Structures are given as structure tokens and as C-alpha cells.
């Protein structure tokens, strides 16, 4: 999931005065009244915008882990054991929340990487965060264990896997992720969606090179659950013998969609990748409502 930031629009009120200059000179007390009313209206508008901005319920929570996951990517774990409502609000892989760091008003939107069961049993949310220069995410990745951040409530509908159930009717599931977009895909795989009861489940996971590819230590576990992992490197080091280029190109070379009506798709990552894969599979006859996204 891409990291997004939103700020409420600032509107500027403009006022015109239909009164003649002579009338204004003769009635100075009315002029003062008009100015006072105008200032009140502007102040009220600013106050209302501030209220809308602060309407989000923020929960303070300490960091329990900050460590490198890959080049420019960080594992972040946040202790939410004292926030049972927050734990309970995370029900489906692909959901996300807003996160604020100290002294920075603008939040980051982050997909939760750990499955809902992990939050329930361990009282923590885990994230895979890309450190982008000048962003809230960069500040977050520079914090230390024990420092406090603020979390919004869990948001979004996540991946609606009911659309590709039961497994016997959708034996093929194609999963596509790039960069930190693997974060909610991890949650999906580790939550489980009947991959071991399907005949063809493939994960095409794209990164620049192996140094930028997170979760490699989880690949064997994912494959044992029924997911074939296909790493795709756009700028591989010498000696790489796997798939190269972009995810959509690697998939186009393999294709092998035997029955579009029995195929489900999950996408998370770069917009261009998602758009090209969607167009490619739609042209092959895969239904749009069987292509799952978390936004």
C-alpha cells in the first residue's frame, strides 16, 4: 500500500462591500461592525476546519521494535496491548491506519503487515515502512524502541477474500506486489485464504534487487502454505537466475491462466503495475470483482 498524506484544504473568504464611500464615512460604527462580523466569520471557518482535522481519534502507543528489513525498508512493531478496541477493530488483511509521530501534524497511512490473529495474541501491530526522504515515514524509521507514536482507528475494508471463495471454485489465485506493497500481502498469506486447497497460487513480488526485497526469510513458510513465490528483480545483481524486469512483464511471459472464470487476483503496489495487470487479466476474461485491492 502506498503511503498517503492528506491535509484539509484551506479556504480563504472574500468579501465585497456594496456601501458607498460616503456612507462609510458617515457611519463609522457600522463599518466597525461589518469588520467585526467578517472577522468572526473567518475565525469560525478556521475553527470548523480545525475541528474536522482533529476529529480523528488518536491512540498513543509505544514502539516495541524498529529495525532494518531491507535497503530503505524497516520493520516497525507497535505495542497496542493497552488498546483492546484498536486490536478488535483489525479484522481483515489489507486494512490500514494513520500514524502520527511527535511534533509532526501530518500523518502517514500505513497498511498493517501482521495478521489480525497476531494483534489478538501478541497485542501488537507490525508494519513494513519505506523510509522516504522528508516524509513522516522517514522520521518514524529514525525513532527508537519505547518512543511513543499515535495511531488512528483501523480503516478500510481490506481484501474481500469472500469474492474468491470457496477454493474449489477459484483454484487459481494470482497475487502481485511491489516494494512495500508486500506488507498487506504478508497479512493475507499468514491469515490464510485456503491456498493449500487451491491448485495454482502464485505471488509475483517485484523489487529492484535482493537487497531491497523484504521478507525473504518468510518465503519458505509461505510456500509451505501453498503459495509459490516468484521474485522479480528489475535491476538484479550478477548471478541472478530468476525473473527479471517488472512484475507485469514477468507475468506476461508466464501467463498460464487456464480458466479466467475460476481465477482470483490480489494486487498491491505501484499504480502502473496494478493498472497494467488489471487490463491484461480483464482482457483475458477475469472478472473485475475478482480482482482484490485494499483501497
Q: What is the pTM of this model?
A: 0.81
Per-residue pLDDT for the chain (295 aa), expressed as one digit of tens each?
Answer: 444 433 333 333 333 333 333 333 334 443 444 444 444 444 444 334 333 445 789 999 999 999 999 999 999 999 999 999 999 999 999 999 999 999 998 999 999 999 999 999 999 999 999 999 999 999 999 999 999 999 999 999 999 999 999 999 999 999 999 999 999 999 999 999 999 999 999 999 999 999 999 999 999 999 999 999 999 999 999 999 999 999 999 999 987 788 999 999 999 999 999 999 999 999 999 999 999 998 7
The rounded distance, in Å, linking the Cα atoms of 171 and 263 is: 7
The rounded distance, in Å, linking the Cα atoms of 253 and 276 is: 14
Contact 203, 186 (CB under 8 A): no
Reduced DSSP (H G I as helix, E B as strand, rest coil) percent helix, strand, coil of the chain, to 5? 40, 25, 40
Angle separating helix axes 271-284 and 247-254, nearest 10 degrees: 20
3-state secondary structure 174-200: EEEEEHHHHHHHHHHHHHCCCHHHCCE
Contact 195, 201 (CB under 8 A): yes
Contact 66, 76 (CB under 8 A): yes
pLDDT at 54: 53
**Strand runs (DSSP E) across the chain, as ranges?**
59-70, 73-79, 96-100, 108-111, 124-130, 148-151, 172-178, 200-207, 228-233, 243-244, 263-268, 291-292
Q: What number of H helices and E strands is found in the chain?
A: 9, 12
The rounded distance, in Å, linking the Cα atoms of 137 and 284 is: 38
If you ran DSSP here, which 8-state letter would residue 155 be given?
B
Exposed/middle/buried for residue 132 (C-beta within 10 Å: 0-12, 13-18, 19+)? middle
The rounded distance, in Å, linking the Cα atoms of 58 and 227 is: 36
The rounded distance, in Å, linking the Cα atoms of 273 and 244 is: 15
The rounded distance, in Å, linking the Cα atoms of 201 and 199 is: 7
Least Cα distance to 203 among 266, 138, 126 occurs for 266
Cell of 290: 475478482
Q: Quick: pLDDT tens for 207-220.
A: 999 999 999 999 99
- The single residue listed with the C-alpha cell 480563504 is 12
Amino acid at each position: 500500500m502506498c503511503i498517503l498524506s492528506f491535509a484539509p484544504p484551506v479556504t480563504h473568504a472574500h468579501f465585497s462591500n456594496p456601501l458607498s464611500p460616503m456612507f462609510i464615512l458617515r457611519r463609522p460604527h457600522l463599518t466597525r461592525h461589518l469588520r467585526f462580523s467578517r472577522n468572526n466569520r473567518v475565525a469560525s471557518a478556521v475553527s470548523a476546519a480545525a475541528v474536522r482535522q482533529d476529529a480523528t481519534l488518536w491512540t498513543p502507543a509505544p514502539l516495541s521494535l524498529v529495525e532494518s528489513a531491507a535497503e530503505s525498508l524497516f520493520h516497525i512493531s507497535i505495542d497496542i496491548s493497552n488498546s483492546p478496541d484498536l486490536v478488535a477493530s483489525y479484522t481483515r488483511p489489507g486494512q490500514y491506519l494513520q500514524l502520527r509521530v511527535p511534533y509532526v501534524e501530518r500523518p502517514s497511512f500505513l497498511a498493517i503487515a501482521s495478521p489480525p490473529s497476531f494483534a489478538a495474541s501478541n497485542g501488537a501491530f507490525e508494519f513494513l515502512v519505506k523510509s522516504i526522504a522528508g516524509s513522516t515515514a522517514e522520521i518514524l524509521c529514525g525513532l527508537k524502541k519505547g518512543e511513543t507514536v499515535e495511531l488512528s482507528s483501523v480503516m478500510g475494508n481490506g481484501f474481500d477474500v469472500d469474492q474468491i471463495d470457496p477454493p474449489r471454485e477459484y483454484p487459481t489465485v494470482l497475487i502481485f506486489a511491489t516494494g512495500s506493497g508486500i506488507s498487506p500481502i504478508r497479512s493475507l498469506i499468514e491469515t490464510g485464504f485456503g491456498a493449500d486447497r487451491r491448485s495454482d497460487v502464485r505471488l509475483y513480488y517485484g523489487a529492484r534487487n535482493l537487497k531491497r526485497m523484504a521478507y525473504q526469510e518468510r518465503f519458505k513458510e509461505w510456500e509451505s502454505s501453498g503459495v509459490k513465490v516468484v521474485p522479480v528483480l528489475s535491476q538484479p545483481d550478477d548471478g541472478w537466475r530468476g525473473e527479471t524486469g517488472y512484475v507485469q512483464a514477468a507475468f506476461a511471459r508466464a501467463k498460464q491462466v487456464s480458466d479466467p472464470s475460476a481465477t482470483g487476483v490480489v494486487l498491491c503496489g505501484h499504480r502502473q503495475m496494478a493498472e497494467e495487470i488489471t487490463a491484461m487479466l480483464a482482457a483475458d476474461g477475469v472478472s473485475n470483482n475478482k480482482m482484490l485491492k485494499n483501497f
